[in-house]
Amino acid sequence: MEAIEEDWKAVEGAISQLHKGATADLASTETAARRVAQAMRCAYDPFEDKEVPNFATMAKEAEAALNAFAESCKEGNKAALMDLGKTLQEQHCARCHDATEEARG
């Protein structure tokens, strides 16, 4: 989990830099985003949490969003990165974490 946290911090850092108009290291951000996306695969296969409603669906959607973000890094598409960056945490990370917390109490 710590490795995912570090990679996620790199993604968040790049998003923050882009919103400030600064330059971000898109190559390393792409790598970090792809690693987080790979980790999401574990959330639906083979370690899906069956106690959390729609857990696998949320993991698949987060994986797709992170891969889209990584692809935008690869392409250097800063406008797409800024748009995706607005929604990654709220629509994917927080949603799944909140659902897990609610299911487990």
pTM of the model: 0.91
* Phi and psi torsions of 49, nearest 5°: -90, 100
Burial class from Cβ neighbours inside 10 Å (0-12, 13-18, 19+) for residue 101 reads: exposed
> What is the rounded distance in angstroms from the CA atom of residue 75 to the CA atom of residue 70?
9
pLDDT one-digit tens code per residue, 25-84: 999 999 999 999 999 998 888 788 999 999 999 999 999 999 999 999 999 999 999 999
- In the three-class reduction of DSSP (H, G, I as helix; E, B as strand; rest coil), residue 25 is classed as coil
